[in-house]
Structure 1
Amino acid sequence: MTHPTAAITAYWDAAARDFDDEPDHGLRAPETRAAWADLLSRCLPSAPADVLDVGCGTGSLSALLAGAGHRVTGVDLAPRMVEAARAKLAAAGLPGRFLVGDA
């Protein structure tokens, strides 16, 4: 018997490679990135704080959080999304901890 989350994991793993190409996913547009950074800064305590990014995907919001000085742990069901998040933060020189898990 297949685990109930297997199809969900497979779907998001398949989407991981191109996920950041969607307009709001990779936060590549400066206006979009700035809007998210502003929203997060108003919703979170002052840095440094421990922040859990549930369903972190490729780590775009995790990168914003780490860049603002927070200690980020990201969790996602899809291993390829977690790999992408780790790579994204490492490429930016940002700290972050990423785990594969079902939240």
Structure 2
Amino acid sequence: MTSTAERAEKVLAESLKWEKLSIDVEEGCGGGHKFRILIVSDAFSGKTTLQSHRLVQSAFGPLMPETHALTIYAYSPEKWSRMDEAARQTAGCADFA
């Protein structure tokens, strides 16, 4: 049986080529799962935060019916490499980066 995190990784891999991916899932929360995703991909280079999030949401489409909440941390490799620990902490993703 495939875990929810493995299924999320699979749907993201089908649409986005990523360099770094971390997925945290809190299962069965009020009618769905709570996902927290950190993804670093060239697909986000030159994109606004909103554009990057829309790419992730689009890729995540097959899992949306069972999703209660989706928190996205999406960065280009360049932006990710410039972020130090303090910046990652401020962004809210240092604990699972």
Give the TM-score taking structure 2 as reference length.
Answer: 0.29
Structure with bigger RCO (C-alpha 8 Å, 6+ apart): 2
Question: Which is higher, the Rg of structure 1 or of structure 2?
Answer: 1
Which structure is higher in strand share? 2
